[in-house]
Structure 1
């Protein structure tokens, strides 16, 4: 097959042909540089670009190209002047580019806030013995800021962010806190209960500082004696809380966060109503994050797989109403998921609006667009595209993996949307 076999002239274009535009992304009005021609208007717009020939993909096309004209013109006519519709489309695309830049600035601000919060969590873990009251003050201040922000706006976006290697314990505490407050918001907990829940979530694993690191970092299955020692971290957490003068429901969260509604948890094997309602929320967030971010990365589930396992195999462990609300607000494809779109392009879910969980924000791989300028789609606005399925990072070709840079550890933070409506 010759090199020209995968090229067509504009006259051979037809609806159903999958084409590649060998032009800069800003030099045409289409969302992508590779796509399947869907209608007559799109066909005319492609021809109006004035390209002498275009690449096409036979495997992704529904039809074959039209045959070449019997008497091709000797000299290609000059490209027509852009129509008013094309000019408007290019202007709309420029506006879209500005929106993408604003979104990137917004993401950078969320990341900055996340890094500041993770530094506070690091300080809390470092100073809990030497400055217990100051540690509690910092925890209360951070949680108060988060609760005020998340309860104060009608819409809150949940973002997947990059974390620094070696700080997984801090990210876990922060993840569980963010996810717990989000769920408390959905369940319409009072502000006071949400504050107690948040403090308990932030401090739920403080007892682990009494557990040897060789057990915490072990990637092989723990022995029974090691499991018994690890399970003591709940009670150690209560002991560490006394010098802090921590009171209220937050203490129950620290003690009970590994209790399950079916009685299979620890340390006391409590069931359903015996477990604090606040703890039942935190235990869902804790289990979800442990499935996504285990000590052995080989055992990690994607966010999509974690939710599926919790609902299909583990739902008797959790409060039914809270678990369904958690899945509903994170969506079928939570932030951090690798997904394939209905146009067969691959993307990474960046953010989800709990009010509209099936239409997340996705960054898309497009080889024609530099990684630093990758296209970000808000599926709430791009109604023609849907998510077809979730993919594991290991299924991606190396080029796409490097482009999307999926996180080894999924970390979450939030972005209150001022003035938004559900």
Structure 2
């Protein structure tokens, strides 16, 4: 988009449908969703003229038409009383969007606070598994029960991408895998007992890595064959630790099998799908996904969309097909943490996905005309004319957009099943 110094301007009388304009006003000072947009109808023109701007900036490259010539332009339309009612409705809609923005911001803050509490709980569990296994079991069980209560009893499941500052690598992965495993299990109609076993296994699936030398786990170069053999022992070590805690046989089996694949290419037993338990097959999918997104130790991960695409297009034979399809459907084509381009050419960061409507997430919008602290968060389910057109890599962002959106170094998820009305 052109900067004000490079732009062309027209008078309000020259505005016409198809012209792409920029309103040089604060977002709170006009009734439109965006400060930059293509004019779609006469009502928008009438509203812009009421803003009493002496000139309006436009972008010729993004416009479908040329501005109207003054000598050929019709006189401004007569604004009758009905227009006042329409304008009031538009302004009411803007107020609803402002209220919606505050609601979403409050929701995000609330979920992030809950996430921090979960991080603290996982930190305590990890610290106590050897010295106080019974206490670690009780704490894990309480955390899973809390998640299940929210997941099973409440309404739509929202998957949030958390901020960079809210956790540590050691605990990110356990929470991610637990949250997404429970989401997938719910979509597959698992019983409460199976979801409890899955949650316990997901939270503790990598507990055996505590006994693997850190220098091996932290290595960024490819592992040697001997090092890989050592790393693969963490599944069986984890079973031994979890058994002392008192986990069920089903949960122990899932910990053992979380690196198995249905085509027999996994470890430690090279099992095929018919030899894997259902909760093990779920855990295998989710663990793989999160490892692709968040490999840890400073390594660059795939975007969420890229990870799902790779799993489906290149590694599909390794996973239970129906479970993988359900997982992709639940996260959506553009999972939380994705950088996306919208149909109006704006770029944004997907913050939250509703599992029942994954193609219409909440998106934080980069708009150079809007201060960062007033950034627009669009609830796309309420925006019939705007949709996501493609996923972008972080490297494709301009420096300004990167600083504005602050894309997550790690993609970390949290559940929110609080039912709440959305402004319409």
Does TM, normalized by the shorter one, top 0.5?
yes
Task: Flag the 1:419–1:388 CA change in 2: closer, same or farther, 3 A.
Answer: closer
Distance in 2 between residues matched to 1:321 and 1:166, nearest whole Å: 32
For residues 43-192 of structure 1, what are the structure 2 equivalents within 5 Å? Answer: 43-69=45-71, 83-164=84-165, 167-192=168-193
Counterpart for residue 30 of structure 2: 28
1:280 matched to 2:281: yes
Gaps of 5+ in 1: 74-78
Distance in 1 between residues matched to 2:80 and 2:211, nearest whole Å: 74
User: What is the deviation of 1:216?
Assistant: 1.2
User: What is the deviation of 1:325?
Assistant: 0.3
Preserved contact between residue 219 and residue 295 of structure 1 (Cα < 8 Å)? no
For residues 337-352 of structure 1, what are the structure 2 equivalents within 5 Å? Answer: 337-352=338-353
Other structure's SS at 1:124 match: helix
Preserved contact between residue 116 and residue 167 of structure 2 (Cα < 8 Å)? no
User: What is the deviation of 1:80?
Assistant: 11
Distance in 1 between residues matched to 2:176 and 2:103, nearest whole Å: 25
**Farther-moved stretch of structure 1 (298-307 vs 275-284):** 298-307
User: What is the deviation of 1:3?
Assistant: 5.5
Normalised to the residue count of structure 2, the TM-score between the two structures is: 0.94
Gaps of 5+ in 2: none
**Farther-moved stretch of structure 1 (348-357 vs 177-186):** 348-357
Other structure's SS at 2:345 match: coil
Distance in 1 between residues matched to 2:11 and 2:166, nearest whole Å: 50
Distance in 2 between residues matched to 1:106 and 1:117, nearest whole Å: 16
Preserved contact between residue 231 and residue 266 of structure 1 (Cα < 8 Å)? yes
Task: Flag the 1:296–1:68 CA change in 2: closer, same or farther, 3 A.
Answer: farther
Distance in 2 between residues matched to 1:266 and 1:4, nearest whole Å: 60
Counterpart for residue 417 of structure 1: 418
For residues 255-294 of structure 1, what are the structure 2 equivalents within 5 Å? Answer: 255-294=256-295
Preserved contact between residue 331 and residue 357 of structure 1 (Cα < 8 Å)? yes
Preserved contact between residue 338 and residue 391 of structure 2 (Cα < 8 Å)? yes
Other structure's SS at 2:159 match: strand
Distance in 1 between residues matched to 2:6 and 2:216, nearest whole Å: 61
Distance in 1 between residues matched to 2:419 and 2:387, nearest whole Å: 27
Task: Flag the 1:281–1:410 CA change in 2: closer, same or farther, 3 A.
Answer: same
Preserved contact between residue 343 and residue 389 of structure 2 (Cα < 8 Å)? yes
Equivalenced residue count is: 416
User: What is the deviation of 1:102?
Assistant: 1.7
Counterpart for residue 12 of structure 2: 10
Other structure's SS at 1:185 match: helix
Distance in 1 between residues matched to 2:413 and 2:293, nearest whole Å: 12
Preserved contact between residue 218 and residue 295 of structure 1 (Cα < 8 Å)? no
Distance in 1 between residues matched to 2:21 and 2:226, nearest whole Å: 61
Counterpart for residue 355 of structure 1: 356
Other structure's SS at 1:242 match: helix
Distance in 2 between residues matched to 1:276 and 1:319, nearest whole Å: 11
Distance in 1 between residues matched to 2:300 and 2:419, nearest whole Å: 38
Counterpart for residue 335 of structure 2: 334
Preserved contact between residue 50 and residue 80 of structure 1 (Cα < 8 Å)? no
User: What is the deviation of 1:295?
Assistant: 2.5
**Farther-moved stretch of structure 1 (174-183 vs 119-128):** 119-128
Distance in 1 between residues matched to 2:84 and 2:286, nearest whole Å: 53
User: What is the deviation of 1:142?
Assistant: 0.2
Other structure's SS at 1:63 match: coil
Counterpart for residue 404 of structure 1: 405
Distance in 2 between residues matched to 1:225 and 1:5, nearest whole Å: 62
Distance in 2 between residues matched to 1:43 and 1:382, nearest whole Å: 20
Other structure's SS at 1:108 match: helix
Distance in 2 between residues matched to 1:218 and 1:227, nearest whole Å: 11
Aligned partner (choices 36, 40, 47) of residue 42 of structure 2: 40
Counterpart for residue 203 of structure 2: 202
Distance in 2 between residues matched to 1:5 and 1:239, nearest whole Å: 67
Preserved contact between residue 339 and residue 349 of structure 1 (Cα < 8 Å)? yes
Listed one character per residue, the Cα deviations across residues 49-97 of structure 1 (whole Å, up to 9, x for unaligned) are 22110111112111221223389x9xxxxx9998232123112211221
User: What is the deviation of 1:152?
Assistant: 1.0
Distance in 2 between residues matched to 1:295 and 1:99, nearest whole Å: 35
Preserved contact between residue 335 and residue 349 of structure 1 (Cα < 8 Å)? yes
**Farther-moved stretch of structure 1 (79-88 vs 53-62):** 79-88
Other structure's SS at 1:188 match: coil
Normalised to the residue count of structure 1, the TM-score between the two structures is: 0.94
Distance in 2 between residues matched to 1:14 and 1:358, nearest whole Å: 32
Preserved contact between residue 163 and residue 171 of structure 1 (Cα < 8 Å)? no
**Farther-moved stretch of structure 1 (263-272 vs 361-370):** 361-370
Other structure's SS at 1:389 match: strand
